[in-house]
């Protein structure tokens, strides 16, 4: 009986010693939470815009280090914001507003079916064409000659597929004139500082 009791005590001692040894050995799969909270070497990420920002870290208050990438700044020296460019755009709009009505009306006279080939303009249309166009033609006196009888629409003498305006003189002679030349001369007279640039950008070469 004494030997049996001694054997049991020995087994119990060995069992307790084994438990103590297992408790002393750290688990391989354990995670050090403090390493997630305070990383010594934060990694960096590069966004599509080329902005470098630190990755988010986990702390006591939640996610940290998330800052939105800054957009590239617009160039301050862009020509659109230059004072001279803005002044030009304002003047360009003024000139367009000035000539648009007569330009539209002339195109309507030439390209619509309001007038047949060789037909004289109405009194109202003729007055507008003479005062707003013909008066500014570089060679208006030569065009009118001995006197103005009427304004007519007909085929261009060289380009038969297009129509143009004609001065019909009192002696029966009729001669064509370009409404674009009239507008160009008008712009040069009224807007001398901006005429060259405007004509270059908005008129075909004549």
pLDDT tier, 59 (very low <50, low <70, confident <90, very high otherwise) = low
The answer to whether the predicted template modeling score (pTM) of the entire model surpasses 0.85 is no
* Per-residue pLDDT reduced to its tens digit, 132-159: 999 999 999 999 999 999 999 999 888 8
Domain positions in the chain: 79-202
Is the domain spanning 79-202 CATH 3.40.50.740? The answer is: no
With beta carbons less than 8 A apart as the criterion, state whether 137 and 206 touch.
Answer: no
| pLDDT score at 46 | 46
pLDDT: is 132 or 204 the higher one? 132
Calculate ∠ Cα 42-45-51, nearest 5°: 120
Distances (CA, A) of 140 to 118, 147, 186: 21, 11, 12
The pLDDT value given to residue 159? 80
The overall average pLDDT reported for the chain is: 78
Q: What is the pLDDT of residue 158?
A: 82
Question: C-alpha angle 170/162/167, rounded to 5°?
Answer: 10
């Amino acid at each position: 009986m004494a030997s049996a009791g001694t054997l049991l005590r020995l087994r119990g001692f060995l069992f307790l010693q084994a438990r103590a040894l297992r408790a002393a050995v750290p688990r391989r799969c354990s995670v050090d939470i403090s390493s997630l909270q305070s990383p010594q070497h934060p990694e960096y990420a590069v966004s599509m815009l080329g902005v470098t920002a630190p990755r988010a870290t986990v702390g006591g208050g939640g996610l940290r280090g998330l800052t939105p990438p800054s957009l590239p700044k617009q160039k301050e020296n862009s020509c659109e914001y230059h004072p001279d460019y803005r002044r030009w755009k304002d003047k360009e709009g003024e000139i367009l507003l000035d000539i648009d009505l007569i330009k539209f009306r002339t195109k309507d006279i030439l390209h619509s079916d309001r007038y047949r080939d060789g037909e004289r303009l109405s009194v109202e249309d003729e007055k507008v064409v003479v005062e707003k166009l013909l008066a500014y033609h570089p060679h208006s006196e030569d065009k009118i000659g001995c006197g103005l009888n009427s304004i007519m629409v007909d085929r261009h003498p060289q380009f038969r597929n297009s129509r143009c305006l004609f001065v019909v003189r009192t002696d029966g002679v009729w001669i064509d004139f370009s409404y674009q030349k009239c507008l160009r001369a008008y712009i040069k007279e009224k807007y001398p500082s901006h005429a060259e640039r405007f004509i270059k950008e908005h008129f075909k070469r004549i």
